[in-house]
Structure 1
Amino acid sequence: MYPFSRRELLETAVRAAALIAWPGCARADDYPSRPIRLVIPYTAGAAGDQIGRPWAERIASLLGPTYVENVGGAGGALGSSAVAQSAPDGYSLLLGNGSTQVMIPLSSARPAYDAVRDFRAIYRLITSTLAFVVYPSLPVKNLQELAAYAKANPGTFSYGTPGAGTGNHLVGEMFRQQSGIPAEIVHVPYRGMGPATNDLISGQIPSMIAVVSSQLLQLHEAGKVRMLAVTSEKRLSGAPEIPTVIESGMPGLRYAGWFGLFAPKATPDGIVDRIAAATRRAMSEPALQETYRLQGLEPDIDSSPDKFQQLVEDELGRLAPIIKSIGLKRD
C-alpha cells in the first residue's frame, strides 16, 4: 500500500471539507450536463491518441459529448497535473498510465502531484507493451547485438523516450544496467513519442523505447524502423515475428504497461461509478476490442474503480525499491 503521512491525511480531510462549499459542486443525478474533457498528457499522434480517442468516440453515445485535449510535456506530468488541479466534477478526466501515475511520482524530487492523494482511479482500458526500436540501418538485429553496439559506442549511442522518469526510461536504465553498458549511454527525453519517432525515422537518434501502437507496427512493416523485441511475456498477435525480451535472453526487462481513466480525487462516487459503468459497457463491445487489438493492445473488459486503484497502489509499492536501486531521477 502507498503510505500516507499525518500531514497528507490532514490535507485530504481539508480538501474533502472544502468540496462541500465548492461552487457548482457536481451531483451524480444530473451528470453529465455538458461535454466531458479527456486530457491525454502527450502530444497528438502519440500512443495515447490511439487509446483515448476510440474511447471518447464510443463513450459519447453512451454517456455524453466527450472531447480529447492533448496536453503534452514533462513526460506526461504537465497534463496530469492540470487534471489533478481541475474541479472534481467529472468533466476533466485523465488518460493516465504507469508513467504518469507511478514512475513520475516515484522518480521526482518534487512531484507536481501525488498519484494516490490527488487522483481517483476509474477504469483500466488496456494493457500494453513496450518495444526496443532502432533505425533500420543500425547494424543490429536483436537485443544482444544492440547491447554490444552500445558498449562499442560509449558517449555516442542514445535512445529516445517520451520523457525522463517514464516507464520507457525505466526499461532503458534496466537494459543499460543488466547489459553492463557504460553510463555514457545517452538518454534523450522528448515531449512525446511522436517527436521521438520522427527523429528515429530521420536518423537523428539510433534507437528508442516506445509503447507499441498501430503506427509503430505499420512503420516496422514498411521497413522505416526495426522493432527488436517487446517487453511482454508473449509475442504480439499483430506482429508474431518480433521476439520477447525473455526470448532475447533478458527476462529481467519484462514490463507490462497500461492506460486508464482517472479523475481528481474529490470527484463524487456516483460520478465515478457512472463513468466506470459506461466504460465497462463500451469495452464489452467487440468493435472497440478489435480496434485496440489491431494496435497490439489488450482491452480490459473487467476493470473497476476499486480494482484499478489497488493496481496503482501495488505498482507504487513494487517499483519504488527498483527505482531507488538504479537511482532513476527526473530532476
Structure 2
Amino acid sequence: MRKRLVALALTFLSGIAGAQAQTYPSRSITLVVPFPPGGSTDAAARIMAEHMRGSLGQPIVIENVGGAGGSIAVGRVARSAPDGYTFDIGQWDTHVGSIIYKLDYDLEKDFEPIGLISNNPQLMVARNNLQANTLAELVAWMKTNPGKINFVNQNAAANVSGVLFEKLTGQKVQFIPYRGAGPAMTDLVSGTMDLLVVQGAVALPQIRGGKIKALANLSPQRSASMPDIPTADETGVPGLHMSGWFGFFAPKGTPKDIIARLNAAMVEALADLTVQKRFSEFGLDIASREQQTPEGLAAFQKAEIDTWWPIIKAAGIGAQAQ
C-alpha cells in the first residue's frame, strides 16, 4: 500500500512538472546582463531578446546588473529559482575569468548551459600615432624603449592578455587599471593610452573611423566578420590568443524541457538573417550549430576553464589588479 502511495505521489509530481513545462512561459522572462547598458554584451542581449520573444510568446526583460566584473549579476542568477524565468548572457569574463574574485557560487556546478551564441574576436588595438603597425614592430620598439608602453587593464581578459603578452615576448608593460572599456577607449583615441585588448564589437567603430589602429586579432584564425585584421600568429607573436564569446546560462536544476524551449528560441533567432547581419556589424561570429546546443556550450566552457584557469592561477592574477 505504501509503495502504491509513493508511486502515485511521484506520478502526481511528475505530472505537475510536465504541465509546467508545457505551459512555459506564462509570463515575462528576465535576461540578466552582467554589465551596464551600452556595451557589446548589452547590445547582443537586446538583439537576442527581441527575436526570441516571438518564439516564446512572452517578452524578455533585460536587467543590467553591473559590478565586480559581472560576478554580482551571475551570482544573482545562480541563486534564482530554477524555473526558466531568469537566465543570463555569460562570457569569458563572467563564466571563466571571474575566478579572480571570491565567488559564493561554483562556475562549473551551479548553472545549466542553454547554448553558445557567438565567438567574439578580441583585438589588440593601439593609439594611431604609436610607432608600430604590427606586433613584431611593437616588440622591436619596446626593446629600444623599455617600460614605456601603457597597457589598459579594464577586465580579466585584458589582464590575462597582458600577462601572456609579457610571457611570450619577454617585454614588460605598464598596466593601467580602468573600470570599463568605454573610458579606456576614450583615452586610447585621445592618445593617453597605448594599448587596449577589447572585443571587436567595441573597437570596430573606432577602427573604421580611423581613430585607432588594430594590431592583431587574438583568435587562432581570422574572423569572418573582420577578415582584414590578421591574427597575432600572423603578425609577430605566435600563441597570443584570448577567447571571447557569449552564451546563455540558467540556474542549476532548471528542467530540461524548459532549457530545450529556451535553446530552440535561441537557435531560431541565430538563424534569422537580420540577427546574423547585426552580429556581423558588431564583429560577432555566430557559433557553429553544434556549439549552440546545451551540450555544446557545456563542452566549450569546460575546455575554456581547462585552458585558462591554470594560466590565471600561475600568474597570480587577482581582483586587486582590476
Q: State whether TM-score is above 0.5.
A: yes
Q: Distance in 1 between matches of 2:25 and 2:153?
A: 36
Q: Secondary structure at the match of 1:256?
A: coil
List aligned pairs for 1:1-331, cutoff 5 A.
Answer: 27-63=20-56, 64-105=58-99, 107-108=100-101, 110-150=102-142, 152-154=145-147, 157-163=149-155, 166-182=156-172, 185-190=174-179, 192-213=180-201, 215-302=202-289, 303-331=292-320
Report if the CA contact (8 A) 1:44-1:70 is conserved. Answer: yes
- The residue aligned with 1:9 is none
CA distance in 1, matches of 2:142, 2:250: 41
State the shift of 1:295 in Å.
2.3
CA distance in 2, matches of 1:56, 1:132: 30
Q: CA deviation at 1:147?
A: 3.2
- Partner Cα distance (2:36, 2:194) in 1: 21
SS at match of 2:120: strand
For the Cα contact (< 8 Å) 1:130–1:231, is it kept in 2?
Answer: yes
Q: Residues 223 and 285 of structure 2 are in contact (CA less than 8 Å); yes or no, is this contact kept in structure 1?
A: no
Residues 121 and 223 in structure 2, CA contact (< 8 A), matched pair in contact too:
no
Structure 2 CA distance for partners of 1:150 and 1:268, relative to 1, 3 Å: farther
Letter in structure 1 aligned against 2:297: F
Give the greater-gyration-radius structure (CA).
2
C-alpha displacement of 1:130: 0.5
- For 2:285 and 2:315, the matched residues in 1 are separated by 30
Gaps of 5+ in 2: 1-12, 14-18
Distance in 2 (CA, whole Å) between partners of 1:249 and 1:301 is 29
Q: Is the 8 A contact 2:28 2:59 kept in 1?
A: yes
Deviations 1:266-296 (A, max 9, x none): 2222211110111112212222122212322
Contact map agreement 2:112 2:254 (CA 8 A) in 1: yes
* Residues 77, 112 of structure 1: 8 Å contact kept: no
- Per-residue deviation at 1:148? 4.3
**How many Å apart are 1:311 and its aligned residue?**
1.7
1:317 is matched by which residue type in structure 2? D
Aligned residues: 300
Q: CA RMSD in A?
A: 2.3
Q: 2:192 & 2:77 partners in 1: Cα distance?
A: 33
Matched AA of 2:174 = I
Name the SS of the counterpart of 2:244 in structure 1: strand
Which secondary structure does the structure 1 equivalent of 2:165 belong to?
helix
User: 1:228 & 1:274 partners in 2: Cα distance?
Assistant: 41
| Aligned structure 1 segments of 4 or more residues deviating by more than 4 angstroms | 148-151
Deviation, structure 1 residue 40:
1.5
Structure 1 stretches of 5 or more lacking a match? 1-19, 21-25
Q: Distance in 2 between matches of 1:203 and 1:70?
A: 31
- Conserved? CA contact 2:78–2:111, under 8 Å: yes
- Measured against aligned partners, the alpha-carbon deviations of 1:197-231 in whole angstroms (never above 9, x if no partner) come to 22322334222100111x52121011111111101
Closer/same/farther in 2, CA of residues 322 and 82 from structure 1, 3 Å limit: same
Return the alpha-carbon distance in structure 2 between the equivalents of residues 44 and 202 of structure 1: 23
